[in-house]
Amino acid sequence: MKWAYIEDIADFKDQEVELRGWVYNKRSGGKIRFLLIRDGTGMIQGTIYSEDKDHPLFQAFDQLTQESSLIVRGVVKEDKRAPGGFELGITDMEIIQTAQEYPITPKEHGIPFLMEHRHLWLRSQKQRAILQIRAELTKAIRDFFDNRGFRNLDTPILTPSACEGTTTLFETEYFDQKAYLSQSGQLYNEATAMAFGKVYCFGPTFRAEKSKTRKHLIEFWMVEPEVAFANLQDITDLAEDLIVSIVARILETRKTELDILERETSPLERVKKPFHRMKYGEILPDLKKKGSKIDWGDDFGAPEETILSEIYDSPVCITHFPAKIKAFYMQPDEENPDEVLGVDVFASEGYGELIGGGQRIHDLGLLEKRVKEHKLPRDAYEWYLDLRKYGSVPHSGFGLGLERTLSWICKIKHIREAIPFPRLLYKIYP
């Protein structure tokens, strides 16, 4: 008999199939028993009917506890009332394991308890919905870049130098040297962009930040495109296109999961081009009017992100930040060298920064000056400076945080649910 997955069950209407899965729930009523079975791809109701109250299937049914594993066989019947539209008339059942008392019951559990049991919590409906959307989002992002001719070039995790500041680096011994876990693939992307024109990397990145917020993970995934010959305008267009494309894809393909999460989708449906675009200097008065204490030269914090989403009901692109709050490689604005050609994209609904990026310095002299000003070890950056000696061109890129974006799309309260095994301050188990 054919081993079928529940997500394909419609293909087996009126046929006998074998399902392999776990007990999600069960209930009895007279001559009938109901078994809610999950197999990882979906959920189906199985029914056992008998006039004989001592029927062997009833006896097996009685042994089943929550999350017990089993193989069932039976005929797939269409039933419009059933969730998913199909039911299984069980004719045979094989218990693989009667589960011990499952720690996660339908009652409410505290977050610390659920986090300690993350390896089991993943089986819950909402967690599954979030992570299904995550998988789709990853695919949507990759498809977006692949379809536009970007080459996926992986950048290293173990690096000899720091990209963004040295206070939040994880350090490890690398044979006779020190190595650091990558905070961004950007510098390496700049090298591959000169070889391939349009590139992206997509992998885990690490920030040993001692902050405990709803928006930060210690280990998170980031996609970073880099484009040779692109300027701030080009890369802002690309950022917009990316966000519009991935949100549309989730709305189109993951409606079931958004429903499970009770996500009101109208804010996502409003994600259309063009986004509001303005300069840092232009938005400052509006932020202050709404209560922000920010002054020119200060970076945005959580209050500013919240205010931004009160003013605008869809994502916003902010450009031309003060140079002093941005990284050493940012291209200064020709007219106002105190400002850099950076762009940050902020989500709606208070979810904060999704994207940070901009145009990179392509002039060798200026970059050498910045390396010195920022007291970076010239040795470690020699290869990076080389990129400005041999056919340097204006180029731009950005990074989009996967978990930030997922948190926003799913409207979840804390980013820890946006990754299978979150790494948080002092938390590395399981």
Q: Does residue 219 belong to the site contacting a second copy (CB under 8 A)?
A: yes
Instruction: Print the binding letters for residues 1-20 with a second copy: x by CB under 8 A, - otherwise.
Output: --x-x-xx-----------x
As beta bridge partners, residue 427 has 424
Q: How many CA atoms lie within 13 A of 82 on its CB side?
A: 22
Of the pair 17, 308, the CB lying nearest a second copy is at 17
Regarding 77 and contact with a second copy (CB under 8 A), the answer is no
Question: Which positions from 280 through 299 interact with a second copy, judged by CB under 8 A?
Answer: none
- Of 50 and 100, nearer to a second copy (C-beta) is 100
- By CB under 8 A, tell whether 111 contacts a second copy: no
Closest alpha carbon to 331 in 359, 369, 355? 359
Q: Does 430 bind a second copy (CB under 8 A)?
A: yes
| CA separation for the pair 48, 357 (Å, rounded) | 58
Parallel/antiparallel/unpaired status of strands 158-159 and 86-97? unpaired
**Is residue 197 involved in binding a second copy (CB under 8 A)?**
yes
Any contact of residue 311 with a second copy (CB under 8 A)?
Answer: no
Query: Between 122 and 151, how does the x/- string for binding to a second copy read (CB under 8 A)?
Result: xx---xx--xx-xx--xx--x---x--x-x
Q: Which helix (H) or strand (E) holds 378?
A: helix 378-386
Task: Please give the C-alpha separations between residue 161 and each of 171, 233, 240, 379, in angstroms, as whole numbers.
Answer: 10, 30, 31, 10
Q: Is residue 34 a contact point for a second copy (CB under 8 A)? A: no
Least separation in angstroms between residue 228's CB and a second copy is 6
> Which stretch in 80-88, 248-256, 368-376, 392-400 sits in contact with a second copy by CB under 8 A?
392-400
Q: Which of 57, 90, 93, 179 binds a second copy (CB under 8 A)?
A: 179
> Judged by CB under 8 A, does residue 84 bind a second copy?
no
Instruction: Give the separation between CA 200 and CA 399, rounded to whole angstroms.
Output: 9
Which DSSP letter does residue 5 get? -
Please choose, out of 198-206, 243-251, 327-335, 351-359, the segment that lies near a second copy by the rule CB under 8 A. Answer: 198-206
CA-based nearest residue to 91, from 77, 78, 75, 79: 75
Interaction between residue 177 and a second copy (CB under 8 A) = yes
Residue from 285, 174, 247 nearest 400 by CA: 247
Total binding residues toward a second copy, as defined by CB under 8 A: 99
**Torsion angle, alpha carbons of 336, 337, 339, 342, to 10:** 110
**Interaction with a second copy in 56-75: which residues (CB under 8 A)?**
67-69, 71
